[in-house]
A = this chain, B = another copy of it.
Amino acid sequence: MSMLQDLYPEDFAHCYGCGRLNTNGLHVKTDWVEGEGIARFLPAPYHMALPGFVYGGLIASLADCHAMATAAGASMVAAGATPGRDPTPRFVMASLQVDFLRPTPLGPELLLRARPTEVGERKVAVEVSLTAKGVECARARVLAVRAPATMVR
């Protein structure tokens, strides 16, 4: 099985956060595991807020791309498709809420688990939990909507 972002159609594969065709990007990758999205990400040394701690904007970016892929996975399952095998539909953020529970240490790999909480045909709500070495550092709630036709060129 593939990571969900590797199965975005080519037109949707340029995202700075997760596009395989964006050579400057972060390349967030989401694995679909038993109804959840799982992602691992190792921040670069320069992704800092203060020395020793991860930049909050990066955490928001990881939550964005990971939640969009998880929303896509949930919508695929609802439609009878198989995440990680069939093409991944592209969702975009309608809203993002991040609670920073504690400073996230810069150094260890970050683990992001994302769980779809409401799955509609066009809208999917996703909750994301970010942990570092087993300690939860941030939580996000993301509302994803299918990329509207006006965004597709």
Q: Which residues of A contact B (CB under 8 A)?
A: 11-12, 14-17, 19, 22-25, 44, 46-53, 55-58, 60-62, 64-65, 90, 92-100, 103, 147-148, 150-153
Contacts and interface: CB of A to CB of B under 8 A. Distances in A.
A50 B98 contact: no
A50 B11 contact: yes
A44 B22 CA distance: 12
Contacts of A148: 103
Please tell me how many copies of the chain the complex holds.
2
B55 A15 contact: yes
A16 B106 CA distance: 12
A70 to B, nearest CB: 15
B48 A15 contact: yes
Given A100-B93, A100-B95, A57 B49 contact: no
Contact of A98 (B16, B95, B100, B150): B95
A40 B153 CA distance: 27
Contacts of A57: 16-17, 57-58, 60-62, 64-65
Given A15-B48, A57-B61, 10 more contacts: A15-B55, A16-B46, A16-B48, A16-B55, A17-B49, A51-B153, A92-B103, A93-B100, A94-B100, A96-B97
